Amino acid sequence: MRKLFLVLTFLLVVSGVLAFVRTWVLAEPITKNFKATWSYVCPGREIRFRLYVKTNNSYNLVKEMDGICLTSDTSDKNFEENFSWAVELGTDYTFALVAVNTEGTESDKAECTIHIPLPKPDTPESFSVELTE
C-alpha cells in the first residue's frame, strides 16, 4: 500500500533570521469500501433507508436506499448495502442508519462506530546487533 502524505511547512523570516519552522503532516484521505448490514421488520408500507456519517456532531448523507420495504410487506428482513467513503487512516468514524417513510419523516438513528486502523508498518531492514566489549 502506498503511503501518501501532504506536508505543509511554514517559515517565518524576520530580517534574514529564521524565526521558526512548523511542519504539519496531513494524512491524505483514501477511499475504502464498506458493507452495512441491518435487520428491519417491514411495517406494511413503503420504507426506505438513509445512511449517514457523523462529522463534528452533524450528519452527512452517504447514501439513500429506495424501495427497500414495499407496500403490504410485513416480513422481518435482513439487508446489506455496499458503499464507498473517503477516510483518513487511524481515525474513528460513526455511521448512522435511519428508516424514512413516504412523507420524509426519519426514525431515530441507529449508530455504529468503527476504527479505520493505520496500516501495519514495514519491517526494518538491515538489522543487526554487535558485541561492543
Residue 104 has what pLDDT? 93
Domain annotation covers residue 78: yes
What is d(CA 23, CA 11) in angstroms, rounded to the nearest whole number?
9
| Rounded distance between C-alpha atoms, residue 93 and residue 53, angstroms | 7
Q: Does residue 24 register a pLDDT over 70?
A: no
Total domains in the fold of the chain: 1
In a domain, 129, yes or no: no
pTM, two decimals, is: 0.71
CATH of the domain at 80: 2.60.40.10
pLDDT in tens, 5-20: 434 444 444 445 554 5
Q: Residue 60 belongs to what domain range?
A: 30-116
User: Is residue 36 in some structural domain?
Assistant: yes
Residue 17 included in any domain: no
| Residue that is written with C-alpha cell 477511499 in the block | 31
Computed over every residue of the chain, the mean pLDDT equals 83
